[in-house]
Amino acid sequence: MSSSTYNQPSQEQISSQGSFFKGVAQVTGTTLLSITLLTSSIVAGGLVGLAISFRNLPDVRQIKNFFPSETTYIYDIKGKLLSSVHGEANREVVPLNRISPNLKRAVLASEDGHFYQHHGINPSGVGRAIVVNMVAGGVKEGGSTITMQLVKNLFLSQKRAFTRKLAEAVLAIRLEQILEKNEILEMYLNQVYWGHNNYGVQTAARSYFNKSAEVLTLGESAMMAGLIQAPEEFSPFASMEKAKQKQKEVLGRMRDLNWITQKEYDNALNEKIKLGKIRSFQGSALPYITNTVAQEIVRDKDLGREKLLKGGMRIQTTVDAKFQKMAEETVSKWHEILLGQGLSKNQMALVSIDPRTHFIKALVGGVDSKTSEFNRATQAQRQPGSSFKPFVYYAAFATGKYGPDSTVIDAPVGYRDGNGWYYPRNYDGGFSGAMSIRTALAQSRNIPVIKLGKAVGMNKVIDTCRTLGIMSPMEPVTSLPLGAIGVTPLEMASAYATFANYGWQSPTTVIARITDSTGNVIRDNTPKPKQVLDPWASAAIIDAMQSVVTSGTGKNAAIDRPAAGKTGTTSSEKDIWFVGTVPQLTTAVWVGRDDNRQLSSGATGGVMVAPIWRDFMTEALKGVPVENFKSPSQFPRPKSN
């Protein structure tokens, strides 16, 4: 709760509350005044007894620990607003000194002209309401002070009843013994409902007039104050005529109280009102990014869904909106190109990560977020095919017994598996005899990688995958090195990024920093890398994967700088991949169909996906200096067991 000093409701900042209310207009009508004063004395005299009888009312002291639900805002790395996330209440809390004096005066004039004089209830107002209700035979007029309205909103039901009005009065008196007037007014202005799912003055001001509550004019303030009793009915979005009518009533009340001059009244009434737009439940500018943020928050045991919807967090993502848009446009363009090449109903995902920080720089979960927000980059478990092979070769290199130039034999072999004999085959159906691991990887031969997996142990391959963050179910079966498991493009990009950073790893994230609405840091994801893989083995697999791009199945991914990567094509051409990296950026691209059917006969990662990777990386690396990978010789080779 802010302790800021409230500017008294006059055009000049008046330090004395008493001087402000000097000259306030008196209630007219001698008959009503007489009845009101009589009734007021009865009400005031009975309140002490009522306070004793209302023993079961809520404890207003709880309000000291009250935090209203508040909208969470998500921004890109440069501070551009991407989306707001909230539950029922779209609210941004602001301190009293950041609310326009015009609005404070207008609300007080409209709702409680004697706010700074009474102690929770206004006897004349309550008395007048009782008379009106007695004559009407029911509850027709409230007579509530701002304090009474606040306790009603926070502690009581909205049912209109005489007993509830009495409870409001008792609680209001109690509340005024706990909080200062400015604290009550600040809480009220941030709590009250202004229509169109806007709670609190800040979200309402941004919605109705596209500006902060701090700079609202007198005309805008009077129009907003007129909304409180029936926001949707008097909304200028619904009827400018009715909104102007209420504005005039509020300005008239301010004029009667001598809080504004006739000139100010006239100017405000003639002020041209420029409306904003209804903002609640707007779509995200970058839905794949903001949805990924939401998933990450919900998974966090210290934050969770409730904090996301009501916690008023300010989330800075790791993504530049322009860079993300470029990635989305690349995916959209290549979707159309692949359709022309016969890959009907193709879907696509792209994830780009800075290997030095493991910050996500771009994440595209499909060809069009408007038609489908299903995020294939983070949610689709698809087989990686041969892009899984570097994990096997890394496990071999980490033993110290093998290196990129070690010899393997590409020849027929059979293994007895749980379901009988398994005879692995290469993609082309042939065999090439003795070759280096570098060549076997570059040509994506299947038999050598299976032999090596069996030699080092499939459980070590699984351990490597777990270290790299791949958590899909895996069994140490003979076919594991061929990638017959489910992985996401995000997992693949993150794993390759760890290779590109020579075994150093930070948690992969789309969130750089989280603060609360007052600027206190909740989460700081400044990278804290840990060495999780052997640096020599990591550099060795990067060195071998450079041959994939220079002379192997990934030649179509070649760009004007050193690059390492691996193609992936599953059986029946259901999933095709290219995952590759330069020292500053790692990117995984996947193409497949949502129904998991064949894309096209002969579709391969090297022919159809590598060019997408090349196109994206060429654009992404514009202006980025060319860097060479570190040589394995720069690291100590692990001792073989």
Per the CB < 8 A criterion, the answer to whether 552 and 441 are in contact is yes
Residue 478: name the closest of 446, 445, 454, 448 by CA.
454
d(CA 126, CA 326): 62
Q: Catalytic residue positions?
A: 111, 386
**Local structure of residue 640 (DSSP, 8 states):** P
Distances (CA, A) of 102 to 181, 216, 225, 244, 346: 18, 7, 10, 17, 57
Residue 345: name the closest of 325, 372, 327 by CA.
372
Per the CB < 8 A criterion, the answer to whether 47 and 280 are in contact is no
Q: 3-state SS of 47-75?
A: HHHHHHHCCCCCCHHHHHHCCCCECEEEE
Per the CB < 8 A criterion, the answer to whether 567 and 554 are in contact is yes
C-alpha torsion angle, residues 134, 135, 136, 138 (rounded to 10): 10
For 151, the enclosing helix (H) or strand (E) is: helix 146-155
Q: Which residues of 21-46 are buried (b: 16+ CB within 10 A; e: fewer)?
A: beeeeeeeeeeeeebbeebbeebeee
User: Do strands 420-422 and 359-364 pair parallel, antiparallel, or not at all (unpaired)?
Assistant: unpaired
> Per-residue DSSP letters for 546-587?
HHHHHHSTTGGG-BSB--EEEEEE-GGG-EEEEEEEETTEEE
Q: Where are the alpha helices (DSSP H) in 194-271?
A: 201-209, 218-225, 231-234, 240-256, 262-270
